[in-house]
A and B are shown apart, each in its own frame.
Chain A
Amino acid sequence: MDKGVLATALGSPAPFGQSQFAFMRGNAFEAKVKADGGAELLRLLYERLGGSSAAPGPDVATPDLSAAGPEGRAARTALALREATAAGGWALLDHPMLALEVAGSPAYLEPDAVVVHPDGRWTVVEIKSFPMIDASAAAAKVGAAARQAAVYVLALERVAAVTEGAEVGHQVLLVCPKDFSNLPTASVVDVRKQRAVTRRQLTRLMRVEDIAAGLPEGTTFDPACAPEELDAAVAAVPPAYAPECLAACELAFHCRARSRAEGAVEALGRSVRGELGGLTTVAGVLAAAAGKEGDPADPTVAALRRAAALRAEALESAAGLRAEAPEAASVAGGGTPEGAAACR
């Protein structure tokens, strides 16, 4: 299912897109790193993760991984990994294909490269085009790359489990342009934590069949349907919208509109929800703060009322005094009259 098309059909098209400048640079950089049979890439890898093995020479194996269809390519990759491990030398797999079961259905993943060490260790290589300036890169981008690599590590582990003498390294190699140049530099990123988090999330994901079984008979997400029909179909799968979704999901604007229409407090951020205890709607919170609803013995309600009273008092005093004596305020050094009076 293409969520982007679905979002457009629902009337909230996804705002994502990639600039061709970024796309071209990303491809050009990857091509440069992998030029000459990956000599530069292997040099960087050996420098940082070489261990006690001999340095990779010109005889690095670069198996051909082309095959028909993702299943075929995944099978070819597994075979190439087995052969390379058995051969006991360096091998570079350019764009291998890995399979991972997500929510009960197979997903195919394509890392930038996987390197097989002579000692049977497999290392995931992630090539990114954001710069590493003075040996540090933007934390958010490195984090995203680490999460992505962790998924590859998980998928590789499934292959390694049935391959004798193979082991997947939990340290991945991140290759980026150095400073403002186009020369590659690399850094080792430990993805044990991301791997553990992803693995836990994958086991907790509800299976697609189970979600589908819970839907009413005849539900379809065909974008050709009428928007109302689609809307009802999407609503049948309960969303859990939070502002973070906006950066990742094509349907986020649709979910946000629904979340706002319901007056859910999560639309303002996950932390807001935690702060407000059992109160989940904007109207509910405001009514509780105004003293119209809610149990005063509930600590959240009591705190809200107090916050509302303090806020109203402060705003009133500031507005009242500003209207009353603007010149007095300027005499007091431009400070608020209330603050000046209170802190005398």
Chain B
Amino acid sequence: MSLITTLARLEAVDSGRAQPLATVRHRHLTDRPLVLVPLTTAGEAGAPLGALVGTDREAPRLLAVAQPRDRDLRFAFLAELAEAVLPHIEACADVVEPAERNETDPATGKKTKVEVELCLDAAQVIVPSRAGVEFVRLLGRSMRFRRTAEDNPDTPYPAPARVPLLGRWLTHYGERARVPGSSLLLASTDLLNRHWATGQSSLEDQHLGALLSWIDPPAGSSGAEAALRAELARDGEGQLLCPPAGPATDPDFDNRLLAPAIERYDRARTALASAEDGLAADARLGELSAAEREIRSLLARVMLPTWDAVWRGLDLLRQLPEGARAEDRWTRDRWSFTAHRDRVRSGEPPQPRRDDAVTAAQKLASRETAQAQLEAQEALDDPLVLAGRRLAGEAFLGTVSGVEMAYTESKRPSPRPLVTVRTDERPHLGERTKVYRSLDGKPQTAEFVRAEQETDQDGEILLVLRILDRMGRSKEPAPGSVPEPGERIAWTLFEHDQRGGPKLPDPEETPWTHGGPPGADAATRAEQPDPVTPEDLL
């Protein structure tokens, strides 16, 4: 946490309300995000308990598993989840615009432009918390290697038709969520924490209810009081008024309400199985569906507050105008979405369990680039973020006090004007340090020449910078490309655009230090479905 963020937190403590950390919204929000509130069974790895899902806040779709240990019921849940999520994804996958992509011809090594499709919009998914993002990954992993009866009629316990496909998409979303600044899969707590500083620690900020209490406390109550209520307050039955945002449930809920309800359901099922005639079976079927309804209503009761909280968080975020460069990052998300769509359509196998060395290195490099790009773009979009960089000496704001033309000493002299900037800031400039400013959205580079100390009482100094580029090809700089005296300009010491790193070798050329090329065993190592046991839960 930087000092400026700490200060915002302390102000929040003092005022009893969260304080802004951003003046614009740094993440793109689509018009119709899909909100997913999942719940899982405590102690089990791949046993979802229920979910609320949908794009309409007034009409969430409730999915529930009455007995999480029953494989058929779990598969039914996943099939239903696929029916709720995949249409949302496919609706976006079919609306495309033409776009161009640079591709290197493998034979000649030449770069050519290729006409490709780019999805006009990508399907956005919002979950309540970071644990929810992890759960999406886990669901993806548990589903993508499943086989359906269609894939292989001999598969024991075949999965419903679209479940493996949902697994591949959820895996892609979970993987994409690890790229800094991406907005395909977002956690509500992360979104809110990016834009507001609360008067509690970042650990406590992971509680969605407490976080919202700080940002938007109910009338007549301070953020701290409201947050404490969200964390601890219980009703007459000993249940939390603000249930955990999941996927984990409150142990008290499990023990006092859910476990007895599941037990009743099990009893009703056994009774139904042992029914001797049609009349008795009818009556017992009624009991069974009553028991199931009870579990559904219990789950709905603990998920609805979270559902509402996620939408409330989105409302709060929509009040902020979107940052200018957030759109650019969203375009990258659309590319990623389109690429995955193409992989699925071309019949490629599901994502492997472990990435090979080259893919892993590529992913790491692209995440590092995305991180640097995100930091630069946020600072350029938002004066409040820029203030943090200015405090750290990585950017400064100065008024141009003079411009002196100068030229390179070559046969065709190019302009290299010297700009004197007056500032009261103390950026970390060394000789020939490059600084950048944004000129019509493109970065213009200058280098630091010298500092002239001035001894006025304001503590201002004069910095001389030499402009290096973006002035056109002629001897006279293009109009508007050189700063004018009196102009107030933000200069940054960090680059605005990130260049990708060096090209990585093809997987076939993986060096021995990284495991060597995939050998003859590659085919045998091809991803097999997880072995299933008659009873895969305890």
Chain A residue numbers with a CB within 8 Å of B24 are: 334-336, 339
Interface residues of B in 515-538 (CB under 8 A from A): 530-533, 535-538
Interface residues of A in 285-344 (CB under 8 A from B): 285-286, 289, 303-304, 306-308, 310-311, 313-315, 317-319, 322, 329-330, 332-336, 338-344
Chain B residue numbers with a CB within 8 Å of A267 are: 200-201
* Residue A120 CB within 8 A of the other chain: no
* Residue B142 CB within 8 A of the other chain: yes
- The answer to whether A20 and B391 touch (CB under 8 A), given A244-B203, A329-B321, is no
Across the interface, do A335 and B7 meet the contact criterion of CB distance under 8 Å?
A: no
Across the interface, do A310 and B538 meet the contact criterion of CB distance under 8 Å?
A: no
How many residues on the B side are at the interface (Cβ–Cβ under 8 A)? 75
Query: In the complex, what distance in Å separates the CA atom of A133 from the CA atom of B137?
Result: 11
Interface residue tally on A, bucketed by range: 35 or more
Across the interface, do A181 and B532 meet the contact criterion of CB distance under 8 Å?
A: yes
* Residue B455 CB within 8 A of the other chain: no
Across the interface, do B1 and A343 meet the contact criterion of CB distance under 8 Å?
A: no
- The answer to whether A24 and B43 touch (CB under 8 A), given A282-B14, A286-B14, A339-B383, is yes
Query: In the complex, what distance in Å separates the CA atom of A339 from the CA atom of B395?
Result: 13
Instruction: Give the contacting residue for A268; candidates B201, B259, B321, B323; CB below 8 A.
Output: B201
Say what secondary structure dominates the interface of chain A.
helix
Chain B residue numbers with a CB within 8 Å of A192 are: none
* Residue B381 CB within 8 A of the other chain: yes
Residue in A closest to B385 when the chains form the complex, CB atoms: A314
* Residue B390 CB within 8 A of the other chain: yes
Residue in A closest to B232 when the chains form the complex, CB atoms: A15
- The answer to whether A246 and B204 touch (CB under 8 A), given A20-B255, A275-B3, is yes
CB distance from A58 to the nearest CB of B (A): 25
* Residue A96 CB within 8 A of the other chain: no
Query: In the complex, what distance in Å separates the CA atom of A183 from the CA atom of B45?
Result: 12
Residue in A closest to B3 when the chains form the complex, CB atoms: A307
* Residue B46 CB within 8 A of the other chain: yes
Say what secondary structure dominates the interface of chain B.
mixed
The stretch of B83-91, B106-114, B182-190, B246-254 in contact with A is B246-254
CB distance from B36 to the nearest CB of A (A): 20
Chain B residue numbers with a CB within 8 Å of A283 are: 14
Across the interface, do B324 and A304 meet the contact criterion of CB distance under 8 Å?
A: no
- The answer to whether A342 and B488 touch (CB under 8 A), given A182-B538, A244-B203, A314-B387, is yes
* Residue B274 CB within 8 A of the other chain: no
* Residue A118 CB within 8 A of the other chain: no
Across the interface, do B23 and A315 meet the contact criterion of CB distance under 8 Å?
A: yes
Across the interface, do A313 and B488 meet the contact criterion of CB distance under 8 Å?
A: no
Instruction: Give the contacting residue for B489; candidates A22, A131, A307, A342; CB below 8 A.
Output: A342
Across the interface, do B384 and A318 meet the contact criterion of CB distance under 8 Å?
A: yes
Instruction: Give the contacting residue for A334; candidates B201, B203, B231, B322; CB below 8 A.
Output: B322
Across the interface, do B11 and A286 meet the contact criterion of CB distance under 8 Å?
A: yes
Query: In the complex, what distance in Å separates the CA atom of A307 from the CA atom of B4?
Result: 5
* Residue B57 CB within 8 A of the other chain: no
The 0/1 profile, CB within 8 Å of B marked 1, for residues 260-271 of chain A is 100101011101
Can you list 20 residue pairs at the A/B interface with Cβ under 8 Å?
A19-B254, A24-B43, A131-B45, A134-B353, A179-B45, A182-B535, A246-B204, A260-B13, A272-B6, A282-B10, A289-B10, A317-B383, A318-B382, A333-B327, A335-B325, A336-B24, A339-B383, A340-B324, A342-B489, A343-B490
Nearest 4 A-B pairs (CB), nearest first?
A22-B43, A335-B324, A19-B42, A17-B251
